[in-house]
Amino acid sequence: MNDIVVLVKASLNPDMVRVGSDGSIDLASIPLKISDIDRNAVEEAVRLKEVLGGKLYAISILTWGPVASRMKDLKLAVQEALAKGVDEAFVVADDSLTPGDQATTASAVKEVLSKEGIKPALILAGEATIDEVTSQVPGRLAALLGYQYLSFVRKLELSGGKIIAERDLEDYIEVVEADLPAVISVTQEINEPRPPTLLQIRRASRKPIKELRAGDLPGIQMPLRKILGIKGIQVTRKQVIIEGSSMEEIADKLIDALIQEGVLKI
Amino acid sequence: MKVLAVAYEEKDIPELIVGTRKFVGDSANIVLLAVHKSASSGDFNINVDKVYLAETSRPEEIVAAIVKLVNEEGVSLIVGEAYKNLRDAFSRVAGQLSMPLITDATEIKLGDDRLVVKRGFLSEKAEMIAEVPLPAAVLFLPRFVKAEGVEGGQPVVTRLEELGGDSKVRLVDVKPKEVGGANLEEAEIIVGVGRGFKSREDLEMAFELAKLLNGQVGCTRPIAADLKWLSEDHWIGISGKRVSPKIYFAIGISGSPQHMSGVQSSKIIVAINKDKSAPIFKQADYGVVADLYQFLPVFIKKLKERLG
């Protein structure tokens, strides 16, 4: 009961979106990468592992298929967590679960825990993942497991089996005290994640990654959401670089351009 | 069709009523749950079936109130607006009642037993249209409709007391967030500052430019969250604010998707950056490749001359 679980998502990389001339987006062509805020969750989990003294597991559920072409990115994301100090990882990848939704992800995590007999004291996750930014999975998971849920935590202390956390809520900061077990979502302010060293990366290649399919998880909730369409939003910015022989000339040209656009009145 | 509308801020009340009638239809039976500031606003002479008040902003207590009302009222749709406290509460409700939750929705359409929803995706570079079965929960982007034409009514108002909720999470302290008086949502001109500024004192130039143009100063995540040079109400982007000014000046800002998703609806974007390969120039209407320390003083001087 001293174990910690950290959730890691291989997210669609929003920096690599290409919108076709007809506004179409091919999701399968967008590479996956570890969601930025998950790095903070991993960093915090490694720190707390020293306090609790148990094992640290990472669980990753593949949301975006097809599995065959996504396994490499998924494993890279998980290997980063292993390199940072996670002991063992579980990945769930099954074409029947993609494209996934947040209900499926939360229930898959619950099923992995029960199948593997893991009863974590703490489950850590990022406050949101970079592709959909819904902040849903940790809260859903807490509800499914009957755990306490501390959302948007930007400062965390653990002593004597109690958590003291600062939550960054909508219009104020809440300091709360809670017992274990708990699900905690962290914000980027909680720490400064350090990239793993080469030695850590090399050692991580020997750590186990267990692959599971939908059939291994009998109670899993199949995706309820059906994606009907993804449309690229074409932002057609003019991309005019204003040039000139002096700063004065450039400044004048910029002012002229803004007047011309009707957004600056002089 | 019974809809539970959960209002957080006072202005959510008319918006949720107008939005629900627009998307679900005039025949929707709306039960309003007003929490946080919306609970003390006082004017509930509105065209809904019932009003419940819960004067709390704690997610644990909001969860308890929603679950109680869903069970008592037989609701098929829960709606609210995407504030952090409601993101937390709605995610737990969705988990507990195993229903789909769509966050940051801009539009919904009701089918027989399904809901079609539209939301932003991939740092607002795309839009997703998806279908989920009912019952379902939806968090709209705040200000998703204009709160106009709310009809009057005489609903029964009930106060919910002692919600309890998750008693194992004990409140130790509540601290206000530092507020610097920025009101970016209303600003017509925003001067955005990023890591290109070398010190807090140098931001004075940005404030001078903003003042000259009757605008406001906004910033990227590192300026507010890491360096704390500006309070968080200046922060624009995924975890900050979404703005839609006539001119957005991105000064010393590289143009990360997390920041740019917050300024996408600006009419004109002007980028000032000394690195000509910065991604910001591909996302701007006008770019000036120059050291901001050289360009800004000249630009301010020229503006002053021409404004008279």
A173-226 pLDDT per residue, tens: 999 999 999 999 999 989 999 999 999 999 999 999 999 999 999 999 999 999
Q: Where are the alpha helices (DSSP H) in B51-113?
A: 59-73, 84-96
The closest alpha carbon to A91, from A212, A176, A5, A198, belongs to A212
Q: Give me the residue from A173, A233, A258 closest to B124, CB to CB.
A: A233
- Dist CA A251 CA B301 (whole Å): 9
Q: Which residue of A has its CA nearest to B134?
A: A224
Q: How confident is the model at residue B41 (pLDDT cuts 50, 70, 90)?
A: confident
The domain locations on chain A are: 4-216, 236-266
What ipTM was reported for this prediction?
0.91
Residue A26 pLDDT class (50, 70, 90 cuts): very high
The shortest CB-CB distance from A144 to any of B85, B95, B133 is to B95
Side-chain-side CA neighbours of A35 within 13 Å: the count stands at 30
14-43 in chain B: CB under 8 A from chain A: none
- Distance CA(A193)–CA(A36), nearest Å, equals 10
**CB contacts, 8 Å: B247 with chain A:** 258, 263-264
pLDDT tens-place string over residues B53-101: 999 999 999 999 999 999 999 999 999 999 999 999 999 999 999 999 9
Cβ B302–A261 below 8 Å, yes or no?
no
Distance CA(B35)–CA(B45), nearest Å, equals 17
Among B residues 130-189, those touching chain A with beta carbons less than 8 Å apart: 130-133, 166, 168-177
pLDDT at B167: 66
Q: Which positions in chain B touch A152 (Cβ < 8 Å)?
A: 84, 88
Tokens 């720190």 locate to: A47
Q: What is the pLDDT of residue B265?
A: 83
Amino acid at A211: E
Beta-sheet pairing, A162-168 with A209-212? unpaired
* A12, A22, A26, A140, best to mutate vs chain B, most B CBs in 10 Å: A140
Q: Does domain A4-216 have CATH number 3.40.718.10?
A: no
Decide if pLDDT at B209 tops 80: yes
Cβ atoms of A125 and A41 within 8 Å: the answer is yes
Cβ of A151 and B95 within 8 Å? Answer: no
pLDDT of residue B21: 94
pLDDT band at A132 (very low <50, low <70, confident <90, very high): very high
